[in-house]
Amino acid sequence: MRIVEGGVCAPKGFFVSSCAAGIKYENHPDMALIFSEKPCDFAGTFTSNVVKAAPVKFDMGLLEKEARVQAVVVNTGIANASCGEEGMKLCRETASAVSKSLSIPGDSVLVASTGVIGQLFDIEKIKYGIDMMKGTLKSSANDANAAARAILTTDTHEKEVSLSFEIDGTEVTIGAMAKGSGMIHPNMCTMLSFITTDVSMDRKLLQKALITCVGKSFNMISVDGDMSTNDSCFLLSNALSGNKKIMSEEEQGYKAFLSALSIVTKFLAMSMAEDGEGATKLMECRVINASTHDEAVTLSKSVIGSDLTKAAVFGNDANWGRIMCALGYSGVSFDPDHTDIYILKGEGPKKELSFDVEGKPYPYELFGFPLAREGVAAGFSEEKATEILSGKHVIIVCDMKDGNEGARAFGCDLTYDYVKINGDYRS
């Protein structure tokens, strides 16, 4: 397995374009288009929010009827959520404009939006954007990067990655781009992720692989506890790599693909958490030795979601009492008098791309620097703790001593800038 260039254009047969259509601001890239020269099988996971944006409903409809897709069109600025029947109409009109422009079937276009809830966008601007993009579709790393930038809202940098690996001697590639970075919270948390691949695989397996990976990546991050109406993760495969079609989970090819997809999704998820609104650092909670996996997930998410813990991490304050407190109100029953809390310095999302973490589900470099042992203060050096906490990636390890299960959750610190960004986002 190796990192390659090209983002969503890295797999064979994918093209991309982006433009500034003036949806919310002038001269600000706000649309992107992904096109595959061959129809794709498509897997997707979507927000579990009861309030689903129109594009989410539209795409879920395509997923349900097992449509084969050839294009994804994205706009930022306006989310097209809470817009009633008008919003659904905008989705149909957007998809129809793309299908006409590219001469592809009407039901082969996915749509995605992000931005303000409750406002309608101007379909003429969208059509104008599509017109611009259809003539500039290219398959280069530069264009993929421009698209990765065009889909951003409050993110401070683009999030893209591409990996190649072999299946029975055939090179297979996965490419991806994603955006955060507010209204981010578990359960298909993450705004928009677009993953392309040239693997040849049964569509049910594709969906299964995506669900497995999303559960351990996007669904384990939280920036602010607010689960968006628009969260979507798309996986498109056009089968152009030429590998023998993977038909079963037992095949080595499936395992290799799952392993690569897991790295891609975890990298994107960690990048989103790291780039959470106003964040100065990535905050990770590793719960180890919990009695069940579900409990490990609940405990780790509770710590990541604690505003008090997030603010303490921002302030480089080794306030482990807040961590203990957050474990305590998670809903999981445990004996606090046996819990240990450690902190250690992480190496950021890039570490995930070093591949050495795969194969070992919880490769915890235990133990870090102890803050609490058996539920009480470990008598630590504040200086040393502050030094670890001032890093760009702070890992909190909670040893529950209740079993053998673990989980990793990702978030970020709570800062003045989060309040600034969200006290005045809409206007």
Is residue 379 close enough to count as binding a copy of itself by CB under 8 A?
Answer: no
DSSP string, 267-328: HHHHHHHHT-TT-SSEEEEEEEEESSHHHHHHHHHHHHT-HHHHHHHHTT---HHHHHHHHH
Residue ranges in 106-135 that form contacts with a copy of itself under rule CB under 8 A:
116-119
Q: Based on CB atoms, which residue is closest to a copy of itself, 106 or 419?
A: 419
- 197 is written with which tokens? 């691949």
Q: Based on CB atoms, which residue is closest to a copy of itself, 182 or 349?
A: 182
Q: Based on CB atoms, which residue is closest to a copy of itself, 106 or 375?
A: 375
Is residue 136 close enough to count as binding a copy of itself by CB under 8 A?
Answer: no
CB 227 within 8 A of CB 47: yes
Residue in 13, 22, 215, 336 binding a copy of itself, rule: CB under 8 A: 336
Is residue 166 close enough to count as binding a copy of itself by CB under 8 A?
Answer: no
Q: CA 339: distance to chain centroid? A: 31
d(CA 206, CA 258): 9
Q: CA 145: distance to chain centroid? A: 17
d(CA 56, CA 46): 7
Considering only the stretches 17-25, 142-150, 208-216, 321-329, report the one whose residues sit in contact with a copy of itself under the rule CB under 8 A.
321-329
d(CA 171, CA 173): 7
Sign of torsion over alpha carbons 276, 277, 282, 286: negative
Residue in 66, 122, 294, 307 binding a copy of itself, rule: CB under 8 A: 307
Is residue 229 close enough to count as binding a copy of itself by CB under 8 A?
Answer: yes
From the CB of residue 142, how many other CB atoms can be counted at a distance below 10 Å?
A: 13
Is residue 426 close enough to count as binding a copy of itself by CB under 8 A?
Answer: yes
CB 274 within 8 A of CB 393: yes
Residue in 1, 104, 132, 308 binding a copy of itself, rule: CB under 8 A: 308
Is residue 233 close enough to count as binding a copy of itself by CB under 8 A?
Answer: no
Q: List, in sequence order, every residue forming a beta bridge with 42; answer none if it has no partner.
A: 236
CB of 49 to a copy of itself, least distance (A): 4
CB of 51 to a copy of itself, least distance (A): 3
Considering only the stretches 7-15, 16-24, 178-186, 350-358, report the one whose residues sit in contact with a copy of itself under the rule CB under 8 A.
178-186
Is residue 374 close enough to count as binding a copy of itself by CB under 8 A?
Answer: yes
Q: Which one, of 36, 48, 1, lies nearest residue 211 by Cα?
A: 48
For helices 123-134 and 84-102, give the axis angle rounded to 10 degrees: 20
d(CA 150, CA 31): 6
Residue in 319, 345, 358, 366 binding a copy of itself, rule: CB under 8 A: 319
What length does the chain have? 427
Q: Based on CB atoms, which residue is closest to a copy of itself, 364 or 418?
A: 418
List phi, psi (to 5°) of 310: -60, -40
Is residue 178 close enough to count as binding a copy of itself by CB under 8 A?
Answer: no
Tokens 């397995």 belong to 1
Residue in 149, 179, 281, 322 binding a copy of itself, rule: CB under 8 A: 322
Q: Which one, of 8, 19, 95, 98, lies nearest residue 57 by Cα?
A: 95
Q: Based on CB atoms, which residue is closest to a copy of itself, 86 or 347?
A: 86
Considering only the stretches 12-20, 89-97, 147-155, 414-422, report the one whose residues sit in contact with a copy of itself under the rule CB under 8 A.
414-422
Is residue 221 close enough to count as binding a copy of itself by CB under 8 A?
Answer: no
DSSP string, 142-204: HHHHHHHHHT-SS-SS-EEEEEEEEETTEEEEEEEEEE--SS--SSS-SSEEEEEE---B-HH
Contacts (Cβ under 8 Å, ≥6 apart) of 356? 363
Q: Based on CB atoms, which residue is closest to a copy of itself, 131 or 335?
A: 335
Active site members: 190
Binding mask 44-83 for a copy of itself (x = CB under 8 A): ----xxxxx--------------------------x-xxx
d(CA 181, CA 21): 22
Q: Based on CB atoms, which residue is closest to a copy of itself, 321 or 403?
A: 321
CB of 65 to a copy of itself, least distance (A): 22
Is residue 327 close enough to count as binding a copy of itself by CB under 8 A?
Answer: yes
> How many residues lie near a copy of itself (CB under 8 A)?
69
Q: Based on CB atoms, which residue is closest to a copy of itself, 244 or 419?
A: 419
Is residue 321 close enough to count as binding a copy of itself by CB under 8 A?
Answer: yes
Binding residues vs a copy of itself (CB under 8 A): 48-52, 79, 81-84, 86, 116-119, 182-183, 185, 187, 224-229, 305-309, 311-312, 314-315, 317, 319-322, 324-330, 332-334, 336-337, 372, 374-377, 414-416, 418-427
